[in-house]
Amino acid sequence: MNKPVLALLGLFLSSVAAAECEINVDVGDSLQFSPDTIEVEASCETVTVNLNHTGQLPAAAMGHNWVLSTDADFEAIAMAGMSAGLAGNYLPADDDRIIAATPIIGGGESTSVSFSIAGLDADESYTFFCSFPGHWSVMKGSFKIV
Ligand code: CO
């Protein structure tokens, strides 16, 4: 099959498979998430985020991950992650402020993370972001419990 057909098939399958507690997030060779706002229902015991990098560039040049924290914590986490390097997914190790995180991936790769939202609060503001240096200040979105 050619690429457009595969892309359409992928869209179809992902829309069919999208349960309310499973979110598909696309990234490419630019600094943005699609979607950039995620809402999950409080009744979800576990949320799964599937991150799909549709770009061409390798992780060292255009790496992306999906990291969740409170709004208040996200900048400090990103700053602390710079020294971890690509091998450390640009995240501080064993940091309790990180609610969930995928590894960093490059173009053509996919990854996912599943996590409990039992401790999260509908009144709190959460941010998801890419911790790659130079990305996190613009490559971020809003995560809400509804
Ligand atoms: Co990135």
Write out pLDDT tens, residues 101-142: 999 999 999 999 999 999 999 999 999 999 999 999 999 999
Query: What is the whole-number distance in angstroms between the Cα of residue 132 and the centre of ligand 1?
Result: 5
In the chain, how many domains are there?
A: 1
69: Cα within 13 Å, side-chain hemisphere? 21
* Residue at 2 is within a domain: no
- Is the CA virtual torsion 124, 70, 102, 60 positive or negative? positive
Question: Of 118 and 6, which is predicted with more confidence?
Answer: 118
pLDDT at 115: 98
Residue 93 Cα to ligand 1 midpoint, Å, equals: 18
Give the three-state DSSP class for 67: strand
Residue 30 placed within a domain? yes
| Distance (Å) from CA 65 to ligand 1 centroid | 6
CATH, residue 130: 2.60.40.420
How far is ligand 1, taken at its centre, from the CA of residue 103, in Å?
A: 11
Q: Is residue 5 part of a domain?
A: no
Residue 109 lies in a domain: yes
What domain range is 40 assigned to? 19-145
Mean pLDDT of all residues in 93-100: 97
Note whether residue 4 is domain-resident. Answer: no
- Structural domain includes residue 73: yes
pTM (predicted TM-score): 0.86
Q: How far is the CA of 24 from the centre of ligand 1 (A)?
A: 16
Query: What is the tens place of the pLDDT at every residue in 20-56?
Result: 899 999 999 999 999 999 999 999 989 999 999 999 9
CA dist list (Å): 102 to 2, 110, 131: 29, 10, 10
